[in-house]
Amino acid sequence: MDALRDLKRRAILHPDDAGAAFALAEALLGAGETAEARRIAEQALLRSPAHGNLVRLAVACCRRESRTARARELLDAAVKAAPEDAALRDERAGILDEEGRLDDALLEREVADRLAPGDEGRLLALADGYARRGLVARALRVLARLDAPDGTDAARLAASLRERCPGAGEGLVERAAAALPPDAPALRDAVERLRRDDAALARRALARASDAERATGAHALLRAELLRRDGRDAEAAIALARAGIAEPPQDGPVPAHAAVGRIGALGWRPGSGCVSPVEAVAVPGEGRLAFSGNVGQVGREAGEVAWTCLRAVAARVGLEDALRGKDLHLHFVDTEISKDGPSAGIALWLAGASALSGRPLRGRLAASGELTLHGDVRPVGGLHEKLVAARLAGVSRVIAPRANRRELEALPAEVTREVEVVQVDDAAAALREALAAGGPRGESR
């Protein structure tokens, strides 16, 4: 009790001393006086918002009291005051995980890893988060930075990803054979031994490889094959990831390069967003619309509105001739994910306009906005989650409603640094911003 009394006296005599406040709050928390410890810590944070230990102690108090929202508010303020503090970002990522905001937690851990790379716990959390989001290549690249002996969490995660990653399974020997450099006798010998199912001699051949041979992709493929035959699947997947070989297609949900009738539609789900690939094809016909994909009634109505709007504003955007004698098919490609709601309207309209005109849309493009029959782009909900998902999916440009400008202004810098958000009021403006170089130019109303 005397020690606690001395700490209180010191805190009273030195009200601007963050260290004194921290020592008192820590002692109070240890004595079970959680509410008082939190009060002392929060008062001190008003004067020293970037004091990491005070923040963490206040957050620990909030967690004990099941006040998760307040804990996140404290961390938000602390990260704003000290954006280069990796430990604070790790702490905030943990809170975001508890709130079910997986995408935001991933962003925080990415920034923390950039500020202080190499923390094993953070790397494993990053890899697990990427895996849960279906970002297999990223998960394996992170795991490749870790030691993953059999039986560890990293090894188990790598093994679970192996079958989802092209190149981590069968066919490695023939891929190695195709990649053999002209002067690689040891690797050529290893290929022949593996073709005869003689793993022991193949391993000896690989051990004789020169430094130049060891630096090739063929060597990485053969090493992974030997690991796989030993039942060490996790190490095989990680070996390929370290060599930059075990990569799924790079386009992701949207094409990396300009393409006709292809765009990402941004969607929302609890705690995160998603990027659903949309395709449109125009075929000879009588002006009919076909619509397919795992889409609810409101989503199908968005497709009908987009089709009617295309015809209503055709003269304004230079599509009158393109519409004659054409049917349009709109399709949500990712049928495993159920979608509904009107916010895909502008993405569907842009895909249709591109397909009808034959002019490509930009690569790495996505859009979100409710569309009216006259071509107005109305505001949508969940834009924060949608834009974070776009950033994680590799989207570089997003068409969004100007009416959502307040939400757009509040986006984290980690999103706006990599995703260009173009605000529009109508479909004609959206088309101008979405078309690849050389596309037609309609007039905005």
Question: Count of CB atoms within 10 A of residue 385's CB?
Answer: 21
Phi-psi region of 117 (alpha: psi -120 to 50; beta: other; left: phi over 0): beta
Secondary structure (H, E, C), 379-412: CCCCHHHHHHHHHHCCCCEEEEEHHHHHHHHCCC
As a whole number of angstroms, the distance between CA 424 and CA 443 comes to 13
As a whole number of angstroms, the distance between CA 187 and CA 387 comes to 46
Q: Decide: 401 and 369 in contact? Cβ < 8 Å.
A: yes
Q: Decide: 236 and 66 in contact? Cβ < 8 Å.
A: no
Token pair 């984290």: residue? 412
Structure tokens at 292: 């397919």
Using CA atoms of 252, 257, 261, 262 in order, give the dihedral in degrees to the nearest 10: 10
Among 48, 272, 276, 343, the one annotated catalytic? 343
Burial class of residue 413 in the structure, from the number of CB atoms within 10 Å of its CB (0-12 exposed, 13-18 middle, 19+ buried):
exposed
Is 386 known to be catalytic? yes
Q: DSSP code of 301?
A: H
Q: Decide: 273 and 377 in contact? Cβ < 8 Å.
A: no
Among 48, 354, 357, 386, the one annotated catalytic? 386
3-state secondary structure of 280: strand
As a whole number of angstroms, the distance between CA 134 and CA 161 comes to 10
Strand order from edge to edge, sheet including 289-292:
289-292, 326-332, 272-284, 262-269, 365-367, 397-401, 420-424
As a whole number of angstroms, the distance between CA 160 and CA 179 comes to 27
Alpha-carbon Rg for the chain in angstroms: 28
Structure tokens at 403: 């009416």
As a whole number of angstroms, the distance between CA 83 and CA 222 comes to 44
Q: Which residues are part of the catalytic machinery?
A: 343, 386
